[in-house]
Each structure stands twice: as C-alpha cells, then as structure tokens.
C-alpha cells in the first residue's frame, strides 16, 4: 500500500466513523426529547411514544455502535500498516 492509498483509506474510514458517531448523538437527542415530553405531559400517550421510539432508536444505535467500533478498529489497523516508500520520490532523491 502506498502513502496516498493509505491516507485515502484512513480518511474514508475516519469520515465514516465520524458520521456514524454524529448519528448516534442525534438519536440520543431524540430520546431526550421524548423523555422531556413525557415529563411535561406525564400521560399514557407520552409514555407509549417514549417506550416505542426509545426501543426503535436503541436498535439503530446498537447497529451504529457496532459499525463505529468496527471502523475504529480498522483505523487502528491502518495506523499499524507499513507503508511502501514512494518510488518516484526515492528516484528523485538519488
């Protein structure tokens, strides 16, 4: 793997992990909104909405968390890869 390919792979995986982490944050914010609505109304409909949406969002969050962890492990692997010396630069240095 050359330096450019390595950098591109690292950037792609990092960007994907950042996006998934942002989505996790947004899902947590939605759950917080349902909690606040339930606290304000304290009625059956708010409780049902809170339970239903929280269960749905937790499913998404579990999936995203697994993907984010996978991407972080891939980033760790990419950081440990030996990069081939760019032969074009090596020839110019001679």
**Residue 65 domain flag:** yes
Q: What is the pLDDT of residues 38-88, one digit of tens each?
A: 999 999 998 999 999 999 999 999 999 999 999 999 999 988 887 766 555
Can you tell me the distance from the alpha carbon of 30 to that of 49, in angstroms, rounded to the nearest whole number? 12
Q: Which domain holds residue 20?
A: 3-78
Q: Quickly count: other Cβ atoms within 10 Å of residue 67's Cβ.
A: 17
pLDDT at 93 over 70: no
Query: pTM score, two decimals?
Result: 0.70
For residue 59, the surrounding DSSP H or E stretch is: helix 44-79
Burial of 43 (0-12, 13-18, 19+ CB in 10 A): exposed
**Residue 40 domain flag:** yes
**Residue 18 domain flag:** yes
Q: What would you measure as the largest C-alpha separation in the chain, in angstroms?
A: 78
């Amino acid at each position: 793997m050359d330096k450019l390919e390595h950098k591109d792979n690292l950037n792609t995986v990092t960007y994907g992990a950042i996006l998934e982490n942002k989505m996790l944050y947004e899902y947590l914010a939605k759950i917080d909104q349902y909690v606040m609505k339930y606290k304000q109304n304290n009625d059956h409909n708010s409780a049902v909405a809170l339970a239903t949406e929280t269960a749905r969002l937790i499913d998404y969050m579990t999936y995203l968390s697994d993907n984010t962890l996978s991407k972080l492990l891939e980033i760790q692997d990419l950081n440990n890869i030996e990069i081939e010396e760019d032969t074009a630069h090596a020839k110019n240095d001679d």
